Amino acid sequence: MTALVDAVDREYPDGKTRSMLTIRNCVHEDEFGVVMEFVEWVATHSTTRGWIGFLRYGDVPTRI
């Protein structure tokens, strides 16, 4: 599942609306490096500071 939606529940000083990207996927461990390269690329274009999402392996989610 992939969705790009307006972040209408967040307020920004400049009054502009931002978007949130949601991706839910199952990735084989051999391809995980490619996914992390994509996450790093998205992070370089993000206006958010701090954590940008969650990674779950098994039942334990971890912030990334």
CA 20 to each of CA 2, 3, 45: distance values in angstroms, whole numbers, following the listed order:
11, 8, 12
Q: What is the pLDDT of residues 36-59, one digit of tens each?
A: 898 888 888 877 677 777 777 777
CA gap 17, 32 in Å, rounded: 31
pLDDT for position 6: 78
Instruction: Quote the pLDDT of residue 1.
Output: 67
Higher pLDDT, 1 or 35: 35
Tens of pLDDT, residue by residue over 5-46, are 777 777 777 877 777 777 777 888 888 888 889 888 888 887
Torsion of CA 31, 58, 22, 39, to 10 degrees: -40
* pLDDT given at position 25: 76
